[in-house]
Amino acid sequence: MSKLIINGGNRLSGEIPIGGAKNSTVALIPAAILADSPVKFDSVPDILDVHNLMLILKSMNVSSNFKEDVLSIDPTNIIESPLPSKAIKSLRASYYFMGALLGRFHQAIVSFPGGDNIGPRPIDQHIKAFKALGAEVSEHDGTVSIKAGEHGLHGAPVFLDMVSVGATINTILAAVKTPGTTTIGNAAREPEIIDLATFLNNMGANIRGAGTDVIRIEGVDTLESHSIHTIIPDRIEAGTYLALAAAAGSGIRITNVIPEHLESFVSKLIEMGVNLKVYEDSIYVAPSSHLKPIKIKVMPYPGFATDLQQPITPLLFKASGRSVIVDTIYPKRIKHIPELNKLGGKVKAEDTSEGIIVVDNSPKLVGAKVSAGEIRAGAALIIAGLMAQGTTEISNAENILRGYGNLIEKLTDVGADIKLEVEETV
């Protein structure tokens, strides 16, 4: 158990560098077991999810080494082995081992993954894709068993009933070494999917259309790495710090970003009246006043990301009126709301079936004891705590550390009074 202690009210200034994308990293690490050679990644974020994935690799006799921001993985001596259920259940992205193991061994047995509880996130689209590729799937006592049918795995058309990043990635992982042509229709278009396809293609895969809603995969026999893969910058981390800079900054530059990945988010900041300037690989946020209320509709990429609806909420407290957020992807993603209210925020879930959240002007935030129910809810609490007068204590901080590398260092460097306290459990 860990907690963050924040003494708020300071105006922050300086630079915040963005690390590699969490949502790329958690797909790339399982993808590494498809390689027939050692692989290397750099710009790897130092987050708990990475260390949990390394534990899962170790259980399969896959060695890995993480130093500074470089992660080396050697899957050449991989063995089939039951995966550690504790690590599997600690993060949802562990379900990418379903596709990766199916692609490598033509079978996979994985405990039902855990991660943040942000409402229903079924894996029916993943299972539908595996079955289309010729796999048989069964589930018993929270364990999913996937194995090639009597005719083996084969390329096939897959049409996703709903846009799903997870199902798109898992289908790519299962299909990349499967004979024949696989076509994914209604595929997710996120930059992290392009990053995964780039990594695999550089090893000899034949994936076309990543970044569009139709992805075509010609199965190949082998994948071999010949160079280090640099992970793209984390657009969700960048958006979080952009919101922080607008809410509590007196001039902050967010560096190592790809502005094109943030267009939907930045456009909303501009609509509010945030004073910012976009450069080739950085965004500078100057002090802003007279912010206007806005309406946000969360949509699949390139729309406004669901992972950023919580971090932007504290900034909406500064708007001169009522803002409305509609989360069409995870309408029950509201764990931040009661906690922000403890700090003096005026925010409520108006309709959880439709994902409607109403945020009113909240001119005075005051420190309090709150709990981080999940990663992005915790990020919202950090921003609100930095805005608030007095001391804010955020428990369950390990949830935040799953997604934000070098958090204390980055915030301290811009003048935040924040520290992490870890309680040893017996």
pLDDT confidence bin for 116, thresholds 50/70/90: very low
Tell me the β-bridge partners of 254.
Answer: 16, 283
What secondary structure does DSSP assign to 266-321, as a single string?
A: HHHHHHHT--EEE-SSEEEE----SPPP-EEEE-STTSB-GGGHHHHHHHHTTSSS
425 burial (CB, 10 Å; 0-12 / 13-18 / 19+) is exposed
- Residues forming the active site: 116
DSSP state of 259: G
* Residue with more model confidence, 117 or 376: 376
2-19+233-422 and 22-230: identical CATH topology: yes
Peptide bond into 179 cis (omega under 30): no
Fold for domain 2-19+233-422? Answer: UDP-n-acetylglucosamine1-carboxyvinyl-transferase; Chain (3.65.10)
pLDDT confidence bin for 425, thresholds 50/70/90: low
What secondary structure does DSSP assign to 236-254, as a single string?
A: HHHHHHHHHHHHHEEEEEE
| Contact of 45 with 22, CB cutoff 8 Å | yes
Domain residue spans of the chain: 2-19+233-422, 22-230
| Contact of 410 with 29, CB cutoff 8 Å | no
- Report the pLDDT averaged over residues 411-424: 94
- Give tens-digit pLDDT for 13-22: 999 999 999 9
Q: Which class is 22-230 in CATH?
A: alpha beta
Task: Tell me the pTM.
Answer: 0.95
Q: Is the pLDDT of residue 111 over 90?
A: no
